[in-house]
């Protein structure tokens, strides 16, 4: 902005599955920066489940890559395993027979940190709990309204594959993902197809073995996609 020019160089080095070796993304900036705050809301994938050791999780990888680059950023991870978009909804949001927002882990709490960026990572629990597409979209609308009102940038992560026994549930992962992309075309970090088989179960090379979570390779894929995401690059510079 004005006379200051910002440059970001992303190097994504991913070994093939055959070599079974992880590689970190290099995320570099050559310009002085302010300190940014990033808040993560989500469920078990954002909390790191499936990654071993914990610093192999996508959130930890992103934070490490940003820190290594010299960019100053504080990451606040409010994710809780098992959570859905209902728990992340604004305080006071109420829908009959649905979970109440968790005021320690929701968008209202996230905004208290005065973030520059909020990441929403809710891969499949809403579908597993039987919530409709309309419900999920309404929850995202309530959350993003708060973000838009506060003029805070945000990224919505795509759904992830899950080994639901019912094929219709697996296809819903694709259906709701497409609907979210249609509503938020420039905000979705979409990696669903990359992680999936043709029927939206987890591609075995990314599976942690429980039919729900991703292994280190899956977390690495998400981390690399995040570091290349246009909104992330715009904010974290």
Query: Using alpha carbons only, what angle is made at residue 221 by residues 105 and 226, rounded to the nearest 5 degrees?
Result: 55
User: Average pLDDT for residues 60-70, to the nearest whole number?
Assistant: 97
H or E stretch covering 156: strand 153-157
Peptide bond just before 53 cis, omega within 30 deg: yes
Q: What confidence score (pLDDT) does residue 187 get?
A: 98
Strands 8-11, 153-157: pairing is unpaired
Mean pLDDT (whole number) for 207-218: 98
- Residue 173 main-chain phi, psi, to 5 deg: -60, -40
Q: Over the stretch 131-153, which tens digit does the pLDDT of each residue have?
A: 999 999 999 999 999 999 999 99
- Per the prediction, the chain carries an average pLDDT of 90
| Whether residue 205 has pLDDT greater than 90 | yes
Residue scoring higher pLDDT (237 or 124) = 124
In the CATH hierarchy, which top-level class contains the domain 8-235? Answer: alpha beta
Task: With CA atoms as reference, report the closest residue to 234 among 158, 180, 159, 155.
Answer: 155
């Amino acid at each position: 902005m004005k006379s200051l020019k910002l440059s970001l160089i992303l190097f994504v080095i991913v070994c093939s599955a055959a070599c079974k070796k992880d590689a970190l993304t290099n995320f570099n900036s050559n310009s002085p920066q302010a300190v940014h705050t990033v808040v993560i809301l989500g469920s078990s994938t954002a909390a790191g489940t499936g990654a071993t050791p914990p610093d192999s999780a996508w959130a930890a990888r992103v934070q490490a890559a940003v820190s290594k680059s010299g960019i100053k950023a504080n990451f606040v991870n409010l994710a809780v395993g098992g959570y859905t978009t209902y728990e992340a909804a604004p305080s006071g949001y109420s829908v009959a027979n649905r979970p109440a927002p968790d005021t320690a882990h929701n968008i209202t709490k996230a905004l208290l940190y005065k973030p520059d960026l909020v990441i929403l990572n809710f891969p499949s629990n809403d579908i597993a709990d039987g919530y409709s597409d309309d419900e999920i979209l309404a929850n995202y609308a309530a959350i993003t309204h708060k973000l838009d009102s506060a003029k805070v940038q945000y990224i919505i992560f795509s759904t992830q594959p899950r080994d639901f026994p019912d094929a219709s549930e697996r296809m819903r992962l694709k259906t709701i993902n497409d609907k979210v992309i249609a509503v938020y075309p420039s905000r979705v970090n979409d990696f669903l197809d990359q992680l999936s088989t043709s029927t939206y179960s987890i591609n075995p090379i990314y599976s942690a073995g429980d039919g729900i979570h991703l292994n280190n390779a899956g977390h690495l894929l998400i981390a690399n996609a995040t570091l290349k995401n246009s909104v992330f690059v715009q904010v974290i510079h």
